[in-house]
């Protein structure tokens, strides 16, 4: 009697279970999450995870983790951090390789602060005051 035994690791069992799930089941088990940065992880592949983060410009960005990872895989596969940890993140924005791709599902600019307005009249008045002060300093003949 020859019985072939296959022992799977915990991660392999999880990956196998996830691969057999429908998109609806995955969405129930892995609901959308909000993070402080853009991140891709090897062990999240297959979850179809939707992730939202705010970049340093104040834009709220939503992306599909699996789509982002598929697009980024060629570059990630040679990076030491990916090889060692299977993890890559960026806190300032999302990678430029993802601009205009299906991985980015939404970019909300409504949280981006409006540019500051400048009151030119006030600036001119302040410059005139500074010039007047500097003129007084140079014309001051009193001993120090």
> Which residues is 62 bridged to in the sheet?
52, 106
Q: Which residues form the domain of 75?
A: 10-114
**Which pairing describes strands 33-34 and 50-54: parallel, antiparallel, or unpaired?**
parallel
Residue 81 belongs to some domain of the structure: yes
Domain membership of residue 104 (yes or no) is yes
What pLDDT sits at residue 15? 78
| pTM of the predicted protein model | 0.66
141 assigned to some structural domain: no
In a domain, 125, yes or no: no
125-132 contact pairs (CB < 8 A, 24+)? none
pLDDT the model gives residue 105: 93
**Residue 143: inside a domain, yes or no?**
no
Residue 95: name the closest of 103, 87, 86, 84 by CA.
103
Residue 75 lies in a domain: yes
Residue 140: pLDDT over 80:
no
Mean pLDDT of 25-42: 88
25 located within any domain:
yes
pLDDT category at 35 given cuts 50, 70, 90 is very high
In a domain, 106, yes or no: yes
CB 115 within 8 A of CB 57: no
Q: Read off the tokens for 115.
A: 């540019």
Question: Count of domains in the chain?
Answer: 1
pLDDT averaged over every residue in the chain: 85
């Amino acid at each position: 009697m020859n019985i072939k035994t296959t022992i799977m690791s915990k991660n392999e069992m999880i990956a196998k279970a996830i691969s057999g799930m429908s998109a609806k089941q995955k969405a129930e088990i892995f609901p959308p999450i909000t993070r402080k940065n853009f991140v891709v992880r090897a062990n999240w592949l297959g979850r179809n995870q939707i992730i939202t983060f705010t970049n340093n410009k104040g834009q709220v960005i939503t992306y599909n983790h699996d789509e982002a990872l598929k697009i980024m895989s060629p570059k990630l596969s040679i990076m030491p951090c990916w090889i060692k940890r299977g993890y890559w993140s960026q806190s300032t924005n999302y990678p430029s390789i993802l601009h205009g791709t299906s991985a980015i599902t939404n970019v909300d600019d409504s949280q981006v602060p409006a540019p500051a307005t400048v009151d030119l009249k006030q600036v001119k008045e302040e410059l005139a005051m500074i010039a007047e002060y500097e003129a007084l300093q140079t014309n001051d003949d009193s001993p120090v």
